Structure 1
Amino acid sequence: MTTQSTNYYENSQDFLDDVQYSKHGVKKYEWIFGEGYLSTGGLETTKEIIPLLELKKGQRVLDVGCGLGGHDFFMAENYGVIIDAIDLSKNMMSVALHHFNKKPQIANNIKFRICDVTATQFPENYYDVIYSRDALLHIREKPQLFQSFLRWLKPGGRVVFTDYCRGESNSYSQEFENYVKQRDYTLYKLSEYNTLIKNTGFVNVLAEDINDRFVDSLNRELKKLYSERNDFLKEFNDEDYKDLEDGWVAKIKRAKDGHQTWSLVRAYKPIN
């Protein structure tokens, strides 16, 4: 994995597509997360989290950082919602559209779009739900982002997202700091998310540490890698295998040591 920072690139899109989400990298991550997924737990955690969105047929959803589209396919097929699915990575969007083109039954339910959510305006009071999975960590301007979310949601609408967070301690390992810097992440503590979202004007905020689920998912994915090694090596090489193994082992250690955690946040726009 290259250690170039965003300073080397003209923009964040080029950084993402060349570093973390290269075409080969996306293919490799999709293998371990499952077809259509590029976030912790794949379909299994999607089935756990989507019911929290309280979706009803015909409602409008903005998926911020839609990745490979798996979450959107699941919502459209099971709930009949209308989704604007956005992502900054051209490589991920290419895979999402490849999968989407094989699903004519939901062709009218999802509109995929490459864009930067921090530089794009959506209609005010328009969405019933804003949803995101492990994508907000890429965004520095979080206060401005949640102000936009509040504008774009209908009164009574909700935002539901998971994200990587810093542990509540102020002491972090050098390995963790190097990881955050190399990925160019902006990670909040869960308590900081809670404060920010309340101060933005959201109500009924529920910010949960779900680190146990994070570790369980990582262990399950690592077990898949080990048990299906031969199948993996039919598509990839030993270096790819070691890269995934080392990455997952390191995430498990960071989570167990309390440096990195996984958070689930729900909040509502006031009705009045």
Structure 2
Amino acid sequence: MNDKKYLDFLAKLGISSAHPGGLPLTKTVLDFVQLKSGERILDVGCGTGETSVYLAKHYASDVVAVDNHPLMIARAKERIQKEAADVELLQANVEHLPLKNDAFDKVLAESVTVFTNIEKTLREYHRVLRAEGILIDIEMTSERQLTPEEEHEIKQVYGIHHVLTEQQWETAMKQAGFKQVKIYNGLDFLKYNMEMPSAPSIDLSQSMDAEAFGVWLSHIKIMDKYHELNYRIYIAHA
């Protein structure tokens, strides 16, 4: 079985801001953490590069963008060049980042960590962050502990190893070395006049083949069946 079918689907259709809340939530969270101009930021699982370009142009950030999917890298490269954004783009596995220790002020992950070996990836985030650096991680989170059968069904669709509750995410982050983890949901940011999320942009230059349609249908069915599948914004301090 190809356990990366869902990620392949996102890459093939060039879906921008596939994470919950989309770019409007990202913008609001970045304002909330008071991102400073010129900070060095690692955007992991950068996808088509939408957030990376925003960081570089809006905050004048020193941005390194990483993704492991060759098609996403190609799409991100095209966007970065089109926008003339100052972003360093790397194809790499976030579980083994080819980056120095203590190199970044912020690490941003938008629905990325859950698709990896969570323990390894969180340790890598912590390793590359400077002292007092911050991880901003928007991740799939279950509102309750799922049964083994329920978790298996969800894992089969998304090709993930675990479906964590917010307590389990917090524990995993602290075990990776993070000293403090603050947890928010999307409603917490409504008071910041967040833009309403729009539908993610899709590049339909690639046709929706039978496999891609099947993945999308499975995703819709899971979202309809498991209303306890939600997301949280985790802000963890190194």
Alignment CA distance shift 1:206-1:212 (3 Å) = closer
Equivalent-residue separation in structure 2 for 1:246 and 1:147 (angstroms): 31
Identical-residue share of aligned pairs (%): 17
What's the counterpart of residue 26 of structure 1?
Answer: 11
Residue 5 to residue 233, structure 1, CA distance change in 2 (3 Å): closer
Q: Is the 8 A contact 1:205 1:266 kept in 2?
A: yes
Cα RMSD of the aligned pairs, angstroms, is 3.4
TM-score (norm 2): 0.80
**Matched residue of 1:20: which SS?**
helix
Q: Structure 1 length normalisation: TM-score?
A: 0.71
Does 2:41 match 1:72?
Answer: no
Match of 2:67 among 70, 73, 87: 87
For residues 98 and 180 of structure 1, the distance between their equivalents in structure 2, rounded to whole angstroms, comes to: 32
Which structure 2 residues correspond to residues 101-250 of structure 1 after superposition, within 5 A?
Answer: 101-104=81-84, 106=85, 109-140=86-117, 142-171=118-147, 174=150, 177-186=152-161, 187-210=163-186, 221=199, 244=216, 247-248=219-220, 250=222
Aligned length: 230
Higher helix share: 1
Distance 1:261 1:38, change over 3 A: closer
1:68-118 CA distances to partner (integer Å, 9 max, x unpaired)? 1111111111100011110110111111111111112x2xx3111111121
CA 1:236–1:144: 2 relative to 1, 3 Å: closer
C-alpha distance in 2, partners of 1:124/1:25?
Answer: 31
CA distance in 1, matches of 2:125, 2:22: 25
Task: Give 1 or 2 for the bigger CA radius of gyration.
Answer: 1
Partner in structure 1 of residue 192 of structure 2: none
**Residues in 2 aligned to 1:211 and 1:242: alpha-carbon distance in whole angstroms:** 31
Structure 1 SS opposite 2:160: coil
Instruction: Indicate if the aligned counterparts of 1:5 and 1:182 stay in contact, CA closer than 8 A.
Output: no
Structure 1 unaligned runs (5+)?
7-15, 31-35, 226-231
> In the TM superposition, what is the alpha-carbon distance from 1:50 to its structure 2 partner?
2.1
Q: In structure 2, how many angstroms separate the alpha carbons of the residues matched to 1:133 and 1:75?
A: 14
Q: Which amino acid aligns with 1:81?
A: S
Conserved 8 A contact 1:55-1:81? no
CA deviations 1:47-70 (Å, max 9, x no partner) are: 222223432121101111111111
1: CA distance, partners of 2:34 / 2:54: 14
- Residue by residue over 1:236-265, the C-alpha shift from the partner in whole angstroms, topping out at 9 and shown as x without a partner, is 5696778646633531441x2x2x221210
Letter in 2 for 1:267: A
SS in 2 for 1:101: helix
Unaligned runs of 5+ in 2: 190-194
> 1:40 aligned to 12, 20, 30, which one?
20
Residues 190 and 209, structure 1, Cα contact 8 Å, conserved in 2: no
SS at match of 2:6: coil
| Larger RCO: 1 or 2 (CA < 8 Å, sep 6+) | 2
Cα drift, residue 203 of structure 1: 2.5
Secondary structure of 1:62's counterpart equals strand
- The answer to whether residue 77 in structure 2 is matched with residue 97 in structure 1 is yes
